[in-house]
Structure 1
Amino acid sequence: MYDIERLSQLVDDLQQAVSSKDVEKILSLCLENNDFIFSLEPEKKHTLFNKSLKKLVVVHQSAVQLVKESRLEMRDQLYQSTKVRKSISKYKGIKHAE
């Protein structure tokens, strides 16, 4: 029920992945620990557990923000490469010019 060690380890791993901007590690950690994360609930009597839970929330928010930013960047790069490809295909005769 109150697995403080697992929660602390998850917070540390997630914090390390966020600081190194390792999106793949963030996604794998969240996927592996999804059920555990959603099973967590704060308790009035366990202040240490609640502090760890608050840390997880803060780190998780920054991880989600990092993943969103990386996806936006990837989408923009894909758009630019598609745009360049379309503009190059308009000039088919250039490769045959001397």
Structure 2
Amino acid sequence: MFDMSHLTELSATLEQSVIEKDIEKIQLLCEENDRFILTIQPLENPVDNGKVKRFILLHQAATQLIRDVHAEMQKQLYQTNKTRKGVSKYKGVKNAE
């Protein structure tokens, strides 16, 4: 069985990171707590099970935020590469000092 106090603390920290959209902190939290997160299971106690469900929802929100940021970064990288290719077509750019 996993440590419920650790789950509560992790939930609070993760929630704050999602609110602040602190991508680095979210990634660090998930990386450092990966083994713990994988041990989480539904519980019979309704109060504890509610805490587990809350954590799952927070984790899903954090994961979605990471995906959204990744997609935006990919889009910006594509635009940058596209712009560079377009600019390099001009002869003046190649010969510029």
Please give the TM-score of this superposition, normalised by the length of structure 2: 0.91
1:47 matched residue in structure 2: 46
Contact 1:2 1:49 in 2 (8 A): no
Shift of 1:95: 7.0
SS at match of 1:49: helix
Partners of 2:74 and 2:25 in 1: CA distance:
20
1:33 matched residue in structure 2: 33
Q: Cα RMSD over matched residues?
A: 1.6
Partners of 1:87 and 1:5 in 2: CA distance:
55
1:67 aligns with 2:66: yes
Note the alpha carbon deviations across 1:10-40, whole angstroms, 9 max, x for none: 0000000000001111111001111001101
Runs of 4+ in 1 over 2 A off after TM superposition: 92-97
Contact 2:42 2:52 in 1 (8 A): yes
2:12 matched residue in structure 1: 12
Please give the TM-score of this superposition, normalised by the length of structure 1: 0.90
Note the alpha carbon deviations across 1:35-69, whole angstroms, 9 max, x for none: 0011011121x222211100001101111110000
Contact 1:14 1:60 in 2 (8 A): yes
